[in-house]
Amino acid sequence: MSEAVTKAGPVASAHSHATSRNYLNHDKRLKSWLLTVDHKRIGLMYMVSVSTAFLAAGVLALLVRAELLTPGETLMGPDTYNQLFSLHGILMVFLFIIPSIPAVLGNFVLPLQLGAKDVAFPRLNLASYYIYLIGGVIALMALLVGKVDTGWTFYTPYSSRVGTSVLFLTTGVFVMGFSSILTGLNFIVTIHKMRAPGLTWNRLPLFVWSIYATSIVQVLATPVIGITMVLLFMERLLGIGIFDPALGGDPVLFQHFFWFYSHPAVYIMILPAFGVISDLIGTFSRHEVQGYKFVALSSVAIAFLGFLVWGHHMFVSGQSAISSIIFSLITYLIGIPTGVKVLNWVGTMYRGSVWLQTPMLYALAFLFLFSIGGFTGVMLGVLAIDVHLHDTYFVVAHFHYVMMGGTVIAALGGLHYWWPKITGKMYNETLGRIAVALIFVGFNVTFFTQFVLGSQGMPRRYYGYLPEFQSLHALSTYGSWILAFGLFLVLFYLLYSLFRGKQAPSNPWGALTLEWTNATSPPDPHNFIRTPVVTRGPYDFHKAPELFGNGHAGDGAPVTTAGDPSAAPKPKA
C-alpha cells in the first residue's frame, strides 16, 4: 500500500492529541460554558443535569426499597413513603429519562454523525437546556410548598385535593415540555437540512434514524401534556369542572389526556435506545446491521402507531370494552416490529466479528432485559390477563425492564461507546466489565422477583403489605443494593478516567460513522476541518481495509494528521 495512510478523513493522530485544541479546552471561561451554543458542550451540560437527577431519583428508590424490607414500618411512615415513590417517578420520568439519550447523546453525536458543524438552531438548543433547568427547578419547588404523593401520574380527583404543591409540579412539567419540543424540532430540521454531501437517507446511521423518529414524537405528543397541565390549572383557578367530579368533571378524561402523551413518551424513551443499540451491535460485530431498512423505517412507524395505544393503560378504568379491545389489538401489532428488530440485532452478530468490549456487553444485556420487558408487555396487553395484573408489581417490573433494562442500559452502553469521543479518555475496561455484570445481576434480582410479587396479587404503590410477600420484597431490596453498587462503580471509574484515563485515539472501536472516522477525540470546536463527503454506508465494514489502509480494520488505527488535504475519503463505490 503505497498510498497515503488513510482515506478516512483528516483527523489528528493519537499522539498529538493531548495538547491539541478541542471543544473542551479552547475556551475555559465560565461564560463560554454557560452561554455556549456548541452542541457538544450543551450535550455535556445535559449529561451533568440528567445524571444528577438519576442519582437523586436512584437514592429515593433505594429508600423506597429499604422501607419495603419489612411489611410494616421500617424507616418511615406512610406519608413519607408515598411522597418518596412519587418523587422517584417524577424525577426519573421528567428530569432524567425523557431528556436522557436525545439531549445528551443526541446533542453530542447527531451533528457529528451527519457531518455537520452543529445543529440547525444552536441558540435554540441552548434555550432548550435552560428551559429544562427552569422547569425542573419549578417542579422541585413543589416539595417546598407541600406534599406531593400522587404518584408521577397525578390522577384526578386525588391530585385535585392534594393542594397547591401539585400546581408547581404541573407548571414545571409544562415548562420542561417546551425543552423537549424545541429539541425535537431542532433535530428534525438538522437531519433534513444539514447532512453532509453524499449522506443520503439510506446511508444514515441507525442512531440518526432513531433520533429522527423520536423527535417526531417529541414535537407531536408533548403539546398534549402541556395542554393537560393548562386544563388542570384552569380547573383549579376558575373552578370549572373538567376532571374533578365534584365540579362536574370526569376523572377518566384526565387519564385519557395524560396517557395520550405518556404512551408516546415511552417511545421517546425507547426509540433512541434502539438507535444506540444498532450502532453498538453494528460496530462491535463489524457487520452492517441486518435489516437496515426495516430497522430504520419501523422506528418511524412505531413513532406514529404509538399514538394509537394509550388506552392499554386504562383497561379497568371504566373505559368502554370496545375501546379496550381496539387498544389491545393495536398494542400487539406494535410489538411485532419491535420483536423483529431484536431478531435483526441478533442476526447482525451471525458470522460477524464480535468484540466483547463494555459497550457490546451493555448491548447484549439490553437484548436480554428489553426482551423480557417486551414479552411481559405483550402479557399485559392481553385483556383478560391485564385485569389481574393491572396496578400490581407485575406492571412495575415490566416498565423497569423496558425503561431501565432497556433505555438506561442502552444509555450506559452509548455513554461508554462515545466516552472516548466526548472526553478524549479511555475508562478502565476491566472495571467496565465488572460493573456490567453487577448491574445485570442486581437488576434481575431486583425486578424479576417483582413479576412474581405482582402475579401473586401484590399491588403497587403500597407502603405496607401482607407478611406472605416479605421474602420476595426482601430479595428485591437486596438486588437493589447490588444494582446500586454497580452503578456507583460506573460513576467512579468514569470520573476517574477524566483525571487518570489513557488518552483515547480517534477511533478506538474501528467504527465507520463520521464521528469516528473524521473527528478527533475530543472533537474540534467546529467538529470537522472540512465537511466530509460521504460515499459509503455507515456500516460498510467490508470496505474497512481500503478505508483504514495499512492492513488495519480500525481498532485504534492511527490516521493522518489534521489538515491533510489528500485525506478526503475516496473509497471505491
Partner 1 sequence: MGDKGTVWLPEAISSIAPEVDSLFYFVLWTSTVIFVAVMVAMTYFAFRYRRRNASEVPPVVHESRILEMAWIVIPTILVLIVFTWGFRVFVKLNVAPGDAYQIQVRAKQWLWEYQYPNGTTSISDLYVPIGRPVRLVMSSEDVLHSFFVPSFRVKQDVLPNRYSSVWFEATREGTYQIFCTEYCGTQHSGMLGKVIVQKEADFQDWLSSAGAGDMTPEEYGELLFGQNNCKVCHSIDGSRLVGPSMQGLFGREEQLEGGGSVVADENYLRESILVPSAKVVATYSNAMPATFTSLNAQQLDALIAYIKTLQ
Considering only residues 354-373, where is the footprint of partner 1 by CB under 8 A? 354-356, 364, 367-368, 371-372
**Smallest distance, partner 1 to C-beta of residue 347, A:** 6
SS3 for 306-329, per residue? HHHCHHHHCCCCCCCHHHHHHHHH
Torsion of CA 37, 42, 44, 45, to 10 degrees: 120
**Among 147, 169, 144, 140, which residue's Cα sits nearest to residue 83?**
147
Residue 458 to residue 472: CA distance in whole angstroms: 10
By beta-carbon proximity to partner 1, the closer residue of 340 and 533 is 340
Give yes or no for residue 74 binding partner 1 (CB under 8 A): no
Q: Which is nearer to partner 1, 44 or 397 (CB)?
A: 397
Question: What are φ and ψ of residue 527, in 5° steps?
Answer: 75, -60
Nearer to partner 1, 195 or 552 (CB): 552
Residue 503 pairs in a beta bridge with 425
Burial class (CB in 10 A: 0-12, 13-18, 19+), 185: middle
> Is 541 near partner 1 (CB under 8 A)?
yes
Q: Please select the residue that binds partner 1; options are 297, 346, 441, 489, rule is CB under 8 A.
A: 346
Q: Which residues pair with 524 in a beta bridge?
A: 527
| CB proximity list for 154: less than 8 A, separation 6 or greater | 166, 169, 170
Note whether 110 and 98 are within 8 A (CB).
no
Give φ, ψ of 489 to 5 degrees. Answer: -60, -45
Residue 369 C-alpha cell reads as 432485559
Site size for partner 1 (CB under 8 A): 90
Q: Does 251 bind partner 1 (CB under 8 A)?
A: yes
One of 41, 65, 263, 286 touching partner 1 (CB under 8 A): 286
Stretch that binds partner 1, among 8-16, 257-265, 288-296, 499-507 (CB under 8 A): 288-296
Q: By CB under 8 A, is residue 339 in contact with partner 1? A: yes
Angle (CA) 126-224-217 rounded to 5° is 60
Query: To the nearest whole angstrom, how small is the minimum distance from the Cβ of residue 454 to partner 1?
Result: 10
Which stretch in 94-102, 134-142, 376-384, 412-420 sits in contact with partner 1 by CB under 8 A? 376-384
E-state strands within 40-163: none
What is the CA 380 to chain-centroid distance, rounded?
A: 23
Closer of 330 and 568 to partner 1 (Cβ): 330
Q: Which of residues 179-238 bind partner 1 (CB under 8 A)?
A: none
568 binds partner 1 (CB under 8 A): no
Residue selected from 163, 198, 245, 563 as contacting partner 1 according to rule CB under 8 A: 245
294-323 residues near partner 1, rule: CB under 8 A? 294, 316-318, 321
Q: With contacts defined by CB under 8 A, name the span among 26-34, 87-95, 126-134, 381-389 that binds partner 1.
A: 381-389
Which residues, numbered 447-476, are part of the site for partner 1 (CB under 8 A)?
452, 455-457, 459-466, 468
CB of 264 to partner 1, least distance (A): 21
Residue of 392, 407, 477, 497 that binds partner 1 (CB under 8 A): 392
Neighbours of 137 (CB within 10 A): 12
